[in-house]
Amino acid sequence: MDELERLGLDDKFGLAYDNEIMQKKMINTARSWGYDDGKADGLEEGAKAKEIEIAKNFLKDGIPIEVVSKNTGISIEEIEELNKEA
């Protein structure tokens, strides 16, 4: 108990402790931002993959490229490339 009281009164220890706490908070914030960014990127990639899947299905059913583009948001050039792959 005496040691805790002594450390509590030591300014150098208090500064070191405060700095360590701030570093941990900054690291946690950066991790959180990284997680959020990664999650957003993953959702975006998943949505794009789903659009491509839908476009391919439309093309298989003979839907005109312009109609596929209008309904999926994929450019005509991209759909023409998908059509070549199919």
Which has the higher per-residue pLDDT, 80 or 38?
A: 80
% pLDDT > 90, the chain: 43
Q: How far apart are CA 35 and CA 42, in angstroms?
A: 10
**pLDDT band with cut points at 50, 70 and 90 for residue 7:** low
Q: Is the pTM of this model over 0.85?
A: no
Query: What's the total number of domains in the chain?
Result: 1
Q: How far apart are CA 80 and CA 77, in angstroms?
A: 5
What is the reported pLDDT for 80?
93
Render pLDDT for 26-68 as a digit per residue (tens, 0 to 9): 888 888 888 888 888 888 999 999 999 999 999 999 999 999 9
Residue 9: pLDDT above 70? no
Tell me the C-alpha to C-alpha distance, in Å, between residue 45 and each of 8, 41, 42, 51, 62: 51, 6, 5, 10, 26
Write out the residue range of the structural domain in which residue 68 sits: 2-85
| CA 32 from centre of chain | 11
Residues 83, 65 contacting (CB under 8 angstroms) = yes
Residues 42, 49 contacting (CB under 8 angstroms) = no
